[in-house]
């Protein structure tokens, strides 16, 4: 079987499809799957889905095929991320993301299509590796006039912190159709249109710096006076009273007609009143509540405590026995 770069192939022993993106030798090629992973595989374990005749043969290869293994003039690649467009056998353009850095990176690639940003790829690419994104026809290349590539370093074990970067790339459509735009890329080992995608660091907004001059208050400070006492009522105690609420749950105090209602229905009315009172008190910023449920057979007290446990972040204890005996619960809404 003959295999050449750009051929669409299927794996014999696995449910995988991909594109031949590298010729390793006359028996082994690298196939980039539809998920974007490059996998070395024997030619005899592949089935060609489409492609031209000729190329690399499993047993014998012509001098022309052997020359594919030798790299011609290489260009020096800086340690940066890139996007590349390479031609395949159908003359479509294959898009790759190349991570030519010493760190694993997470990439998100977007293009603007019909006024909306569309994600073409998002995922991790290991250091000094590349990932195949997809193939595009000549008509689809017009969508690449504006490309955004966001990059995040995912080597969290490093001591150095790398801030996320974003690259806004503008590509002129004419570049795709000029042979001079394509050079041999060492990582891909094929001719490709190479585009720098290193981008700029995403900066946090700077806070305005304070001037060195001190600002003197225009008004003189007034001497604070201690709270006045009127009779035996302190203002401090009045503030505490404003932050406390009280609800008497005796059914006659709730003003509800209970004629014909069962004991279970009466308890439910009292619980509904408790829940409503709790919610309003929390919104009003109350700090403490007194719930007067009486002693009775203990059913109402038990159900009220069960309701209180369903609220996150509040505490409760027995109320002041000197005033309420065992018939009240003190609820702390704030610590």
How high is the pLDDT of residue 328? Answer: 94
Q: Round to whole Å and give the CA distance between 70 and 68.
A: 6
The alpha carbon dihedral of 52, 58, 61, 65 has a sign of positive
- Domain 1-69 fold is SH3 type barrels. (2.30.30)
How high is the pLDDT of residue 224? Answer: 52
How high is the pLDDT of residue 55? Answer: 42
Give 243's pLDDT tier (boundaries 50, 70, 90): confident
Give the orientation angle of helix 263-283 with respect to helix 299-309, to 10 degrees: 40
* Three-class secondary structure of residue 325 per DSSP: coil
Q: How far is CA 71 from CA 132, 183, 184, 187, 199, in A?
A: 20, 11, 8, 11, 29
Is 32:98 a contact under the CB 8 Å cutoff? no
* Dihedral of the alpha carbons of 156, 117, 32, 78, in degrees to the nearest 10: -60
Give 197's pLDDT tier (boundaries 50, 70, 90): confident
Q: Round to whole Å and give the CA distance between 180 and 176.
A: 10
Query: Which single residue is written with the structure tokens 């004419």?
Result: 174
pLDDT tens column, 311-335: 888 899 999 888 888 899 999 987 5
Write a three-state SS string for 251-293.
CCCCCCCCCCCCHHHHHHHHHHHHHHHHHHHHHCCCCEEEEEC
For the chain, what is the mean pLDDT?
A: 77
Is 64:174 a contact under the CB 8 Å cutoff? no
Query: Which single residue is written with the structure tokens 């042979």?
Result: 179
pLDDT tens column, 94-139: 999 988 888 888 999 999 888 888 999 999 888 888 888 988 988 8
Instruction: Tell me which architecture the domain covering 232-332 has in CATH.
Output: 2-Layer Sandwich (3.30)
* Average pLDDT of the segment spanning 244-254: 89
DSSP annotation of 171: -
- Write the DSSP assignment of 87-150 as a string of letters: E-TTSPEEEEEEE-SSS-EEEEEEEEETTEEEEEEEEEE-TTEEEEEEEE-TGGGGGGGEEEEE
> Does 56 have pLDDT greater than 60?
no
Tell me the pairing of strands 2-3 and 8-11: unpaired
Q: Round to whole Å and give the CA distance between 65 and 72.
A: 14
Task: State which CATH number among 3.40.190.10, 3.90.550.10, 2.60.40.1600, 3.40.630.10 fits the domain covering 71-202.
Answer: 2.60.40.1600
Give 223's pLDDT tier (boundaries 50, 70, 90): low
Domain residue spans of the chain: 1-69, 71-202, 232-332
Q: Round to whole Å and give the CA distance between 263 and 266.
A: 5
């Amino acid at each position: 079987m003959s295999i050449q770069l750009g051929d669409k192939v299927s794996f014999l022993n696995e449910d995988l499809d991909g594109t031949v993106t590298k010729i390793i030798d006359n028996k082994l090629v690298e196939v980039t799957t539809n998920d974007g992973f490059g996998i070395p595989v024997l030619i005899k374990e592949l089935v060609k889905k489409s492609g031209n005749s000729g190329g690399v043969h499993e047993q014998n290869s012509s001098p022309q095929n052997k020359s594919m293994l030798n790299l011609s003039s290489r260009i020096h690649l800086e340690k940066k991320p890139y996007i590349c467009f390479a031609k395949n056998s159908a003359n479509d353009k294959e898009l790759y993301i190349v991570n030519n850095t010493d760190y694993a990176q997470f990439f998100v690639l977007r293009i603007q299509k019909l006024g909306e940003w569309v994600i073409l790829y998002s995922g991790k690419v290991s250091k000094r590796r590349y990932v195949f994104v997809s193939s595009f026809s000549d008509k689809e290349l017009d969508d690449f006039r504006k490309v955004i590539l966001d990059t995040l370093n995912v080597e969290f074990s490093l001591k150095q912190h790398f801030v996320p970067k974003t690259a806004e790339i503008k590509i002129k459509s004419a570049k795709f159709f000029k042979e001079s735009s394509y050079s041999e890329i060492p990582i891909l080992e094929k001719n490709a249109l190479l585009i720098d995608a290193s981008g700029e660091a995403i900066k946090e907004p700077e806070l305005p710096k304070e001037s060195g001059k001190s600002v003197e208050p225009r008004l003189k400070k007034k001497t604070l006076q201690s709270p006045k006492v009127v009779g035996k009522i302190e203002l401090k105690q009045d503030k505490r009273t404003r932050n406390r609420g009280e609800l008497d749950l005796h059914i006659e105090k709730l003003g509800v007609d209970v004629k014909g209602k069962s004991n279970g229905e009466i308890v439910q009315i009292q619980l509904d009143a408790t829940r409503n009172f709790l919610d309003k008190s929390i919104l009003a910023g109350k700090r403490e509540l007194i719930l007067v449920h009486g002693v009775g057979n203990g059913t109402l007290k038990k159900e009220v405590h069960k309701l209180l446990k369903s609220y996150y972040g509040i505490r409760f204890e027995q109320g002041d026995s000197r005033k309420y005996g065992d018939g009240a619960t003190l609820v702390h809404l704030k610590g």
